[in-house]
Amino acid sequence: MSKLGFIGLGIMGAPMAAHLIAAGHEVFLHTRSKVPAELLTGQASACASAQEVAQKADIIFLMLPDTPDVAKVLFGDDGVASGLSQGKTVVDMSSISPMDTKEFAEKINALGCDYLDAPVSGGEVGAKAGSLTIMIGGPEAAFELVRPLFELMGKNITLVGGNGDGQTCKVANQIIVALNIAAVGEALLFASKAGADPAKVRQALMGGFAASRILEVHGERMIKRTFNPGFRIGLHQKDLSLALAGARTLGVALPQTAGAAQLMQVCAANGMQDLDHSALVRSLEIMANHTVA
């Protein structure tokens, strides 16, 4: 069994680390707050710093909110980089900037270690079920080394390309998800305002070409008003900001992405940034002065 490290034990990270522990690996844990007691079983133990995790583990996983968080954990005081020795592997499963990811990889490579960017899709449900989609950027040899561990956390596992390409794929994923949520929200709002039962409309659409996972899961959330977070609006805002910043750098226009980002900003401005991203429909409802129900 491998000696693993896992840093970042939030809504996603805790269940992901739990799968590694359940498989019998020795796992060294660190997070900003207290390590959840339910993880400290068997071969798992808490560490006082990211540096300590890197010193004890051969493969170190990160699952953090944003680019500055990853930079601090990797290269800040008592960070991962200060605890690495040659031959170790760092796997960042956060969703962060593709451009910064390439810089992080170069710095870790300079220490004689491999780096994989491996953002995920599937939310809390996928993290708990071990069914995440994992999009990986980095060297093939490092990918093959870590693949059995990815398989404990996910089902659809793809080496997309070199460092940064995993993060680019995740940004593309978040564009598609955001635009689909907006489309489902607009459709159900239109149906409801026109006097049709949005639940029956959704049911009918699920049998046609408009059927999608977003319509199935988030359409139901919109109708039942179950906006407890599986993936928070605030985090999706961050991902769309990465998309738009990348678009500026690349010189391309993403007008629909910009529109979805503005809808999420309406939600955030009304104190809804911690709701599930399906609550994007609330911005449409505010503008229409009508609730899908």
Q: What residues act catalytically? A: 170
CA atoms of 149 and 135, how far apart (whole Å)? 14
List Cβ neighbours of 203 (8 Å cut-off, separation of 6 or more). Answer: none
Amino acid at 71: A
Helix orientation angle between 233-250 and 165-193, rounded to the nearest 10 degrees: 120
Report the alpha-carbon distance of residue 171 to residue 165 in Å, rounded. Answer: 10
Contact 115, 90 (CB under 8 A): yes
- Give the Cα separation of 281 and 223 in Å (integer): 10
| Structural contact between residues 293 and 245, judged by C-beta atoms closer than 8 angstroms | no
